[in-house]
Structure 1
């Protein structure tokens, strides 16, 4: 069953001529076509020969980008010599041809590879949507939220200033009222003092009056004549004394304190409230629906920019953060966080060398191996450094935090023996793989760099084995890639959003491009692209390839996918 019609000559090539190599042995021409039944990439000449061959002239050949994806090989449990390659639509079970004949006679079947290829393309489309729409949209909304956070600080500072101003105003009013009341007290005090002074003066005058009476009476008593003696005549008039004047006690004023509570005062002060209106929804940029297409390699590997990372002597390993910045390490233990304008944000000194020893987690923290102390450390977003977990008996070399599920992959060594251990995001060990469970053979020696592909495969750059070693998510060996004949010295490794594997070859000054099955596609970058001794690679959210080199702190950025 075919997804596309056979192509004729003149069909537009999807990938530029210098990218994909023909899969025919000893043919170094450019790949343009793909035979779906054979799963074989071909140049134009080999395609013509393929169509003329009696064995393959009826095969479906398509433009490379429209190819069917090769179904992973899995043997039937009941018929170990047969591959599972179809699905029974009546029973919804996967089966081989013998199962179909023996147990599902008369049922309707569908080709599993056709379904797989179709759904694989749908997955790539969704990955494209994630990277080209959802993640950029979320980044814009996060920027909007950060702006709101800044506005909130300013707004709340203004609100606090208004409250303090209102409090000062109320204090002034209280001071004015207090001043009026104190002035009233002074006036009342003066009035009462005048009344008391008046009463005091009354008794002072009455005392003078008594002193006069006393003097007259004593004078009469000493009168030595009989004639006109006041004691003998009109004595009653002289002994008549005026009564003591009556006075009253002062009435003191009373202060009646106002009867109010804190709530009464708060009511007078003013109220803080949130307006009873519905919050405005943040605008989510509508998803565009361009003509359906699949991400493919850019038609030309052009450098789009170059930036300098301060305080490092080389760009041995790169870890992109979640905000557009990058962590870069050299082989002298310098680990620097910088933006892509060359501004240094943070720097620490580690005791690690030229391995891929750091990775950014889904939450934005940086984790890195401390091989001198056999620990994994974490640098949080607020720049605090903590010990994340301790590694027993083995030395941690490389590390990768999964963008799929947050798991942490750690490449370790003991002597010249290597292994990969999987931890969950909390640091609990959940998988430990050193040997292939099928062959019991060692397949990892020195896992210098490690990453993960979109399908969960674990990709390792093993320096001692001079190979790229790829494991299934379960830890079983999938394939090893050892270069294209000449000496191969693999360094930094990464994957892109369509499952390509990119690895630096420090020996030939190139970056190799493989598909997820381990097939060599092309030398993506060579000295002609301006690189020398590449040691690190990573792909950003805009599908740009960042390349670090041994002898410079300049990072080159190339167009990768379109």
Structure 2
């Protein structure tokens, strides 16, 4: 798309509005003003687009900059050993590792823009949402402080009725002082966030001013470190008031000094203030996997690719291009359920012949047998790697006893926990087919036998039963298949009987049918995977070899974030 020009003063304007254009999106070929660029980089559908300052689109010839040591020469090369540009007369770099100046400039500029982009995608967005919430926190927390101190006033009044006339004046002083100090604290936090945003914006402006000035850019990135931008400033979350038990009845002033203000820790932005459910899911694309007959399970690699498996093989699929990157055969799993998972090093852990777990390295060069079942009566049904505890969760089934259990193993292979019975001593699992973990540590298991109703069993991390989800308000029973959880701690489950995907909250309450068979891309959904990096849902079908990619969660716009 060519830039649009204003009729009077020949100023390039934004493709979306009438403001002056500053940046260009190479992915969707749009010119963007500062505000539209901010919206473009916040939206989850476009945050990974290639957006640069407009002058870089024009591919200007870099200016030849004069060497500081040899004014008659210009910089032509870059020394990787010394991290500095040099000219042909600079002999001290003769035996060092060197690069062409233009190559060094483009490589390092790309690296820094990737880092800046990540900071703006995540850290800066979270800080801006946090700052928007400070206003309501000042109002709400100040009110809470007053209410807590008033509660303490009542307690003190009952204990010291003889000193009420002294208490009234002292309490008013303490309330006003505590409220004033807390409001000052929150204003200080707001200033810290503003200062951090200003520093990052100034750094970005310096980067933009060095476009096509390789030497200035390389000197800038050598002098300024990104480390000071990467950590969120430490912001106390707030304070709690309490009354010391050591009460001196002789002196009311000493009594009031026993009121303590305690730090509640670092202020955090809740996911509910960053993300929202959309009014309806949107199908983004459909991926066809030529090496597979159907989709029984999906494991997300969190780098734009997923492992997908049926009963005979698994394949690594690139989501943007739909290309098959790798195909792995020779690891049959007769049950075809949640048979593989990715660990924190992106290695594939896969059940082999229901009897062992094989680890396949990310580079596909090595295979290691990491777990072998000890009792042949128990078959391995499903497996899940916990990113919070780094433990391996394995679902087992005993055909003779017709019961299942969940085993938790440490990274060293030590059995930590066996989860099998509820608090009343009753078995919780028939056949555990799919296994995952929620953000709060709850263990979520899809349980069923063929041609029978099933349920989703949820326990806490210690194995205490929390609830079993068996149907929605409109259904008589559930035939569950694949499950997953999302960034808002929802639980999603495929229902084979109705060909729908249920959305329930972390406490087991049915919220809605997120996906139904009337939607495009839904054909007997069988397995699910949520991509926490891009916030997309991948849905696999049992009837064909297609994966449908949906978005149903997006970010709040900065002017629409909740208080």
TM-score (ref. length: structure 1): 0.48
Greater strand fraction, Structure 1 or Structure 2: 2
The higher radius of gyration belongs to: 1
